[in-house]
Amino acid sequence: MTSSPIPSSKMSALSVQQLTKVYKGGFQALKGIDLEVEEGDFFALLGPNGAGKSTFIGILASLVNKTAGRVTVFGEDQDREPERVKSCIGLVPQEFNFNLFLPVVEVVVNQAGYYGIPRREARLRAERYLKLLDLWDRRDTEMRKLSGGLKRRLMIARALVHEPRLLILDEPTAGVDIEIRRSMWGFLRELNARGTTIILTTHYLEEAESLCRNIAIINHGEIAELTSVTSLLNRLHTETFVLNLKGRISELPQLGGFVLQHLDDCTLEVEMSREHTINGLFEALSRNGIEVISLRNKQNRLERLFLDMVERRGGAARPESEEAA
Amino acid sequence: MSRHGVGWRRYWISFQTIFLKEIVRFSRIWVQTILPSVITTTLYFVIFGRLIGERIGTMGGLDYLDFIVPGLVLMGVITNAYSNVVSSFYSSKFSRYIEELLVSPAPNWVILAGYVAGGVARGLVVGTAVMLVAMAFTEVRVHSLAVTMLMFTMTAVLFALGGFINAIYANSFDDISIVPTFVLTPLTYLGGVFYSIDLLPGFWQGVSLANPVLYMVNAFRYGLLGVSDIPVGIAFAIIAVFIVVLGAFSLELLRRGVGIKT
C-alpha cells in the first residue's frame, strides 16, 4: 500500500506525472511514475539494481530522453522551460564523469561557465566549494591523480557551483570510506538545513534512515512505496537488538514478551515486539541480575523493511547493466 | 531573465567557456596537434615544390610551388578543424564528461558553436603556421585578404561541423579515424591541391566538380594568387549551403540526443 509523505503547504520542488521510459528493444524502465517532492525535503529514492532509479534521475537531469510523462521543477515545466529547469538542478552522478587531464579547480570553474557564471565569480565560487569539501589544497592536481573518495567530493562541489535549489545525488557515497561518508553526511545535512532540497539514491539504507525525511521505494519501474521514513519505520512489528553483557551467563532467563538467544557467553540477541520498550527490557534483565554494557540493532531497520517489500513484490529487478541495453 | 543573468550574456559565457576549454586542450598538446601538420607541409614543399616541382615547371600559368601553396594551407585547415572537434567531442562522450554540458542550461546551438569555434581556432592556427612556412619557400603574397580570410574560416567551419557529426555517430576511437582516412584524404588529394582540373579529361572534370574541396581550394587560391578554375562566387555559395545543411543536421542530432542520450 502506497501512502503519501507528510502533507505540507510548502512549494513543490519536483513534480513528476506518469513518467514513462521504454528503451530501444522494448524494455520498460519506468511505468508511469507519479512523485512529488516538496521544497526543503531530504528525499530518499531506494530500489534494487535495475529498478529504474538511474533512469529516473537521468530524465530529471536531461541525460535520458523520456518516453512520456511530465516533469516540473519548482513549477517550471521541463519540456517548455528546459534551461530554467536545468538551472535549478545540481547533479552528482553515480559514475565519475570528468576530463581526467584537467586540474580540479578547472573542472569546477568550467562547470560554472557552462551555467553562464562569469569567470571571476566562477573562480570565487570554486574556491568556496572546494574549501567546503576539503579539496582546496588539491586544486591544481589533475583529476586522474585523485582517489575515489576525493573524486566523489569533487562531484558534489561541481554540482553546487551554480548553487542549485534541488540537488540530486545518485549513490554519492558508493565506495568511500566511513570517515569520508560521515563527513559527506554532515555536509549534506547542513546544505539541506540552509534550504537546498535534496534527492538521494543510495544502497546504504542506513544513509537514507539517517539523512532523509521522506522516501520512495522504486521497484520494476514503479513506485512501490512513497511515505515518510518515520511512518515506514513504524511499520516494523519487531526489532532485534544485540546486547553486550557485563558478566557471563550460562543459562537464558525467561522474559515475558522478549525472545532471547545466546550468541556467546557475554552476548545476547533479543527480539522484542513494538508493544514493549527498551526500559522494560532493561528492567526484566536487571531482575535476573544481568547487566548490559552496550546494545545495537542487529540489522538496519530500513533494510529489513526494504527486503520484505521487494520480496513481497516479486524479488529483485534485472541488473542495472541490462537496463540500457 | 534566468537565475544566472540575462539569456544572451549567459549564452556568451557558456560559449566562451567551451571555446576556451578547447583552445587550452589543443595548446597543451601542441606537439600532437599543431606541429605534425607544419612538419608534413614543410615536407610537401621540399619534395613536391623544390625537388619535383622544378621539373614540372608551371601549372595554371603559375610556378608549381606557388600553385600548391593554397591547397596545402587548406589541407592543414581541413584536417585540423575536423580532427579537433571529432577527437575532443568523442573523448567527452567516451569519458562521459559531455554530461557536464548536457545537464547545464547551455542550449544545443551554444554547445555546437563552442566546439566548432574550437575546431576553427585550431584550423586557423595551423593554417597560419603553414602559410608562414609557405612564405619562406615561395614569393606568394595575399591577393585578396577578404576572400582569403572568408574561405579560410568557412572551410574550417564546414569541416569542424563534419568532425562533430562524425563524433556524434562514433562508437569507438576507430570510428573517428575512418572518415579522415577514407573520405577526407581522397577528397583533398582529388580536390585540385596539386593540379589544375584543366589537365583532366572532360568526364573527370565533371566528376571533380562534385567535390566540395575543389571549390574551397580554388576560392582560396584566388584569395592568395588571384587565379581560380571556378568562379569564386559559386564556390562561396556552395560552401555556404554545405555549412547550413551540416549545421542544421548537427543541431537536429543534438536535439534528438543521438549518441549522447539514451
Residues in chain A whose beta carbon is closer than 8 A to a beta carbon of chain B?
A: 23, 58, 61-65, 82-84, 86-89, 91, 93, 95-101, 110-111, 113-119, 158, 162, 324
CB A242 within 8 A of CB A292: no
Point out the least confidently predicted range of A58-72, A264-278, A309-323.
Answer: A309-323
pLDDT at residue A208 greater than cutoff 70: yes
What mean pLDDT is reported for chain A? 85
The angle that helices B212-225 and B145-169 make with each other, rounded to 10 degrees, is 150
Q: Which helix (H) or strand (E) holds B203?
A: helix B202-208
Burial (CB count <10 Å: 0-12, 13-18, 19+), residue B176: buried
> Does residue A324 carry a pLDDT above 60?
no
Q: Over the stretch B166-185, which tens digit does the pLDDT of each residue have?
A: 999 999 888 888 888 888 88
Partner residue facing A115 (CB), from B4, B16, B18: B4
pLDDT band at A321 (very low <50, low <70, confident <90, very high): very low
More confident residue, B207 or B1: B207
Taking each continuous run of H as one helix and of E as one strand, the counts in chain B are: 13, 2
Percent of chain B predicted with pLDDT > 90: 48
Cβ within 8 Å, pair B103-A23: no
CB under 8 A, 24+ apart: contacts of B191-196? B191/B71, B191/B216, B191/B217, B192/B71, B192/B217, B192/B218, B192/B229, B193/B68, B193/B71, B193/B72, B193/B74, B193/B75, B193/B217, B194/B48, B194/B68, B194/B71, B195/B59, B196/B59, B196/B60, B196/B67, B196/B229
Q: What is the mean pLDDT of chain B?
A: 88
H or E stretch including B123? helix B108-137
pLDDT given for residue A256 in this prediction:
77
Q: How far is A131 from chain B (nearest CA, A)?
A: 21
Contact yes or no for B21 and A91 at CB 8 A: no
Contact A98 B17 (CB under 8 A): no
Residue A4 in this model has a pLDDT that exceeds 50: no
pLDDT of residue A160 exceeding 90, the answer is: yes
Interchain contact, B96 vs A110, CB within 8 Å:
no
Question: Are B13 and A65 a contacting pair at CB < 8 A?
Answer: no
| pLDDT higher than threshold 90 for residue A35 | yes
Quick one: what percent of chain A has pLDDT higher than 90?
Answer: 45
The answer to whether A97 contacts B105, with C-beta atoms less than 8 Å apart, is no
Instruction: Point out the residue among A64, A88, A96 whose CB comes nearest to the CB of B262.
Output: A64
Q: Considering CB atoms only, which of A63, A118, A162 is closest to B99?
A: A63
Q: What pLDDT does residue A219 have?
A: 86
pLDDT of residue A304: 67
Q: Cβ–Cβ of A117/B4 closer than 8 Å? A: yes
- B11/A116 touch (CB, cutoff 8 Å), yes or no: yes
Interface of B with A (CB under 8 A): 2-5, 7, 9-11, 13-14, 16-18, 20-21, 28, 91-92, 95-97, 99-107, 256-257, 261-262
From chain A, pick out residues whose CB is under 8 angstroms from the CB of B100. 97, 110-111, 114, 158
